[in-house]
Structure 1
Amino acid sequence: MSKVSKFYVGQSAEETITVTEKLIYETADFSGDYNPIHTSKDYAEKTRFKGRIAHSLVCEALTSKLIGMKLPGAGAVFITMSFVCTKPVFIGDEITATATIKAIDEERDILDMQVQCRNQRDEVVVECETRVLYLGPEEDYIKDEEYIN
């Protein structure tokens, strides 16, 4: 039996975060990207955005969390990802990512998925198309208790 047989086209899940100043600096520390559009209020206020914007990595990480932890969940591995930023994300924005299964390849255990990230004004800020290999749920494998907790 295919590992993806329990999923269906149109199935969806969502995850929400609030973008904070702390998150911006944690992302800068993690990525090494201290571009002043993210980190300097004085610089960013003089740009077309009129303020600091979040790294695209914030929405990419939210997408990774959604797919890796919810749909399809543990055992998901990205094969491809097309990621388009359509609007800036600002400090204070509440971003909701919604992942939807668009196609299922049961022979290869692959899901084609669409992810949209929207802000609290219901504006699309990111469009993502991704192909995901699904290895199966956690319980199919021996757990490394130190790692999984």
Structure 2
Amino acid sequence: MIEKMLKVGDTYETEFVITQEQVNAFAELSGDKNPLHIDAEFAATTNFKSPIVHGIFTSAVISKILGMEFPGPGTFYLGQKLEFKRAIYPEKRYVAKFEITEIREGKHIAVISTQYFETETGRNRIVLDGEAEVKNLERIP
């Protein structure tokens, strides 16, 4: 399944939805049972008006994409910067957009812009902005 070598400017985009069931499972696994994430009645009393996804759980989508899709199998993280611009809500559709902004040739390292956009409302607002540094011996020169 070796595909072409990646280069600066290559992009990848995919839609995703995080379910409330996944949020509840993450709360159990992580121990972060903040009612803001799992209690609709409590969340209704906040500025968010309904439960929101744990910020760090949203980054699991980045991990999945990097490890399985772009660059893909064999990729491992060297670092990740994240800025949470807006809340991510369970059961809503988002788009993840990635772009290779730098390659350290010979080291098999890429810097990849990692962004999520809210698309369900048609506003296409950024909700997460970040940058990953990854290594992949098969896909990055």
Shorter-chain TM range is 0.7 to 0.9
Q: What is the distance in 2 between the residues matched to 1:62 and 1:15? A: 10
SS in 1 for 2:53: coil
Structure 1 unaligned runs (5+)? 138-149
Q: What is the distance in 1 between the residues matched to 2:27 and 2:127? A: 20
Name 1:130's counterpart in structure 2: 132
Q: May I ask how many residue pairs the two structures share in their alignment? A: 133
Contact 1:67 1:99 in 2 (8 A): no
Q: CA deviation at 1:119?
A: 1.6
Q: CA deviation at 1:55?
A: 0.9
Q: What is the distance in 2 between the residues matched to 1:26 and 1:98? A: 26
Q: What is the distance in 1 between the residues matched to 2:77 and 2:11? A: 17
Q: What is the distance in 2 between the residues matched to 1:95 and 1:15? A: 8
Name 1:17's counterpart in structure 2: 16
Name 1:65's counterpart in structure 2: 64
TM-score of the pair, normalised by structure 1: 0.83
- State the one-letter code of the partner of 1:82: K
Structure 2 unaligned runs (5+)? none
Contact 2:5 2:138 in 1 (8 A): no
Higher share of residues assigned helix: 1
Q: Identity across aligned pairs (percent)?
A: 26
> For the aligned residues, what is the CA RMSD?
1.5
Give a deviation string over 1:42-86, Cα, whole Å, max 9, x none: 211111111110111332110011111111111111111101110
